[in-house]
Amino acid sequence: MESKYSGYTREQLLERIADLEGQLNKTETDDSELKHKKTKKRDKQRPFDMSKYTKRKIALRVAYIGWNYIGFASQQDPERVPTIEDMLFKALKECRLIEQIDDSVDYTRCGRTDKGVSGLGQVIALWVRSKKLASDPSPGLLPPEEELAYAETINRVLPDDIRVLAWAPVPDDFSARYHCTSRTYKYFFSRGSMDINRMRQACQYFEGEHDFRNFCKMDPSKNIVSYSRLILSMKINPVQHTDTKSVGHGTDFYEVELKGTAFLWHQVRYMMSVLFLVGQGLEPPETIRDLLDIEKVPSKPDFPMASDLPLVLYDCEFKDLEWHYALKDTVYETFPPTMRTYLHFNEAWNMQMIRTLTYQYYLTRIGSFPAVMSDKSIKTIADLMSERKPKRADGTVVVPLGAGKETRMTKYKPVLERPRCDTDETKKEKYQIRKKRKLDTQEEMI
Active-site annotation, residues = 114
Task: Count the neighbouring beta carbons within 10 Å of the beta carbon of residue 281.
Answer: 14
**What value, to the nearest 5°, has the Cα angle with vertex 291 and ends 290 and 296?**
60
Beta bridge partners of 2: none
140: helix, coil or strand?
coil
Task: Count the neighbouring beta carbons within 10 Å of the beta carbon of residue 259.
Answer: 19
CA distances from 266 to 102, 112, 140, 217, 434 (A): 28, 10, 42, 6, 24
**Using CA atoms, how far apart are residues 314 and 118, in angstroms rounded to an integer?**
9
The residues, ordered by sequence, that sit 6+ positions from 388 with a Cβ below 8 Å of its Cβ are 193, 398
The residues, ordered by sequence, that sit 6+ positions from 391 with a Cβ below 8 Å of its Cβ are 282, 397, 412
CA distances from 247 to 141, 279, 347, 360, 408 (A): 56, 21, 24, 6, 24
Q: Give the E-state strand segments of 239-351 in sequence order.
A: 253-260, 311-318
Q: Closest Cα to residue 277, out of 179, 402, 373, 173? A: 402
**Using CA atoms, how far apart are residues 333 and 208, in angstroms rounded to an integer?**
46
**Using CA atoms, how far apart are residues 344 and 349, in angstroms rounded to an integer?**
9
Backbone angles phi, psi at 21, to 5 degrees: -65, -35
Backbone angles phi, psi at 109, to 5 degrees: -125, 155
N-term to C-term CA, the chain: 95
Q: Are 188 and 254 in contact (CB under 8 A)?
A: yes
**Using CA atoms, how far apart are residues 263 and 248, in angstroms rounded to an integer?**
35
Q: Are 115 and 33 in contact (CB under 8 A)?
A: no
